[in-house]
Structure 1
Amino acid sequence: MLSWLANKTTPLSHIVQEFNQSAAPAGTVKAADCPFLVIDLELTGLNAKQDHIVSLGWVPVRQFEIILSEARHYLVHSPVSVGQSAVYHGLHDKDFSQARDLADVLTELMQAYAGYIFVAHHCQLDLRFLEVACQRIFGKAAKFSFIDTLNIELYRLHKQGIVMKQDALRLPHCLVRHKLPHSDQHHALADAYSCALLLLSQLKHSHPEITLADLQLQSR
């Protein structure tokens, strides 16, 4: 059991509080010098207040390098059956015998990657689920700083005068457009890794001095 659970005098919210107090890079910092954590979630549905996280995958990117030695993938205990969501992520109730508690996984995430810029493809969904989960578990919302590779891709295409259907912004289609390996199979770690590849390709096609503020502007 985690030490913070054993210590009844320590409020659970201190994990989120310490995470929130860690300084993220300033907007003027070059993207090359920013530590990123690319993350993906698999879910039982799309409503953060009613549905649940069933797996998380993440991979750090530092100095434009994917740090595979720190890549992680966890199955997470869900209070409900995965039900029909198994059609999308391929996980079934029988697969969760060795799953971890979400509190443990989020604690590891926030303690190891405080001060990182989080990255996801269509990040609003991941952000909402993480915020709700932290509020439920720790009694306090975490201040995750996200950039969105989907919006960056949309910005990039608009700047080139290219108009595409919304479906063309799905991660597999973006990977094809950037001539990167792709798969239509949903897997949290595989999707996080693919998103990291996309981020690096997007940065490669940007100007060398691009800053975090530039990325945040493109990501809106």
Structure 2
Amino acid sequence: MSWWRPTNPRLADRVPDGGLRRFLAAAPPPRGTPVRELPLLAVDLETTGLSPETDHILEVGMVDVDGLGIPLGTATALVVDPGSEVGQSATIHRITDDDLAAGVPLPEALDRLFDRLAGRVLLAHHAAVEVGFLTEAVRRVHGVRIDLPAVDTLTLGHRALGFDEDLPRDALRLWRLRARAGLPSYRGHDAMIDALGCAELYLALVAELAPRDLGQLRRLS
């Protein structure tokens, strides 16, 4: 996946005016951006399952990371109405069909998320999940395939622990890496709380790994 998103600007005119178009048209932060100045958006998704092709986004959690700070007033959660029932996944994330009835449609959720992401770097824990669901959702709604590079706290955590180490199965879970960093325990499977938990873990890992700029951060993650 190209960090520079070379195909994205050419796709901007193929989607309606709004947040996704602004994201596609915006230049990503340059590779030389110092980490202390880097704008990111920590994102967490709650879904009905693990397959972007067959499962649905139910909730989007977001919080800005501005350099080495987290403006807590930017923490946001959007419940998404996928037009289907929650099913058995409710036992994990505790989102009910009644909650979905008050949610926003997927196109609106995507528009609001990508408006926040324009000019920023996506940050997530096990980012392949967020990238997979978001790119598939954009393809399904708008018929385009976007590039969505991300910084992954799971990979950063793995590097901090040592790639060659024989790790316990749960060593790279968000809560376990947070405990290792001395961060407080939060309730899991709440999109906004998990996004905030990811953002805090990112800052702890950046302090430990000491990447100089975005280019070095991307090589680490």
TM-score range, shorter chain: 0.7 to 0.9
**Distance apart, 1:182 and its partner CA:** 1.6
Partner of 1:197: 200
Partner of residue 168 from structure 1, selected from 168, 171, 193? 171
Letter of the 1:69 partner, please give it: G
After TM superposition, the structure 1 = structure 2 runs for residues 92-103 of structure 1, keeping only pairs within 5 Å, are 92-103=96-107
Find the residue that maps to 2:42 and give its secondary structure.
strand
Find the residue that maps to 1:74 and give its secondary structure.
strand
Cα distance in 1 for residues equivalent to 2:41 and 2:188: 21
Root-mean-square deviation (CA), in Å? 1.8
Instruction: Answer whether contact 1:20 1:143 (CA < 8 A) is retained.
Output: no
Partner of 1:179: 182
Partner of residue 155 from structure 1, selected from 154, 159, 170? 159
1:37-96 Cα shifts (integer Å, max 9, x gaps): 000000001110110000000000102111112211011002221111111111111222
**Distance apart, 1:217 and its partner CA:** 1.1
1:32 paired to 2:30: no
Cα distance in 1 for residues equivalent to 2:200 and 2:139: 31
Letter of the 2:200 partner, please give it: L
> How many corresponding residue pairs?
208
Letter of the 2:50 partner, please give it: L
Partner of 1:4: none
Cα distance in 1 for residues equivalent to 2:61 and 2:116: 14
Partner of 2:212: 210
1:49 paired to 2:53: yes
Deviates more, 1:110-119 or 1:17-26: 17-26
Letter of the 2:191 partner, please give it: A
Cα distance in 2 for residues equivalent to 1:11 and 1:214: 33
Cα distance in 2 for residues equivalent to 1:133 and 1:201: 31
Find the residue that maps to 2:151 and give its secondary structure.
strand
Letter of the 2:79 partner, please give it: L
Letter of the 1:171 partner, please give it: L
Gaps of 5+ in 2: 1-12
**Distance apart, 1:183 and its partner CA:** 2.8
Partner of 2:9: none
Partner of residue 64 from structure 2, selected from 53, 60, 66? 60
Gaps of 5+ in 1: 1-9
**Distance apart, 1:184 and its partner CA:** 4.7
Partner of 1:20: 24
**Distance apart, 1:140 and its partner CA:** 1.6
Instruction: Answer whether contact 2:160 2:208 (CA < 8 A) is retained.
Output: no
Letter of the 1:213 partner, please give it: G
**Distance apart, 1:17 and its partner CA:** 4.3
Find the residue that maps to 2:102 and give its secondary structure.
coil
**Distance apart, 1:186 and its partner CA:** 0.9
TM-score by length of 2: 0.88
Deviates more, 1:10-19 or 1:190-199: 10-19
Cα distance in 2 for residues equivalent to 1:146 and 1:65: 18
TM-score by length of 1: 0.88
Partner of 2:191: 188
- Aligned-pair identity (%): 31
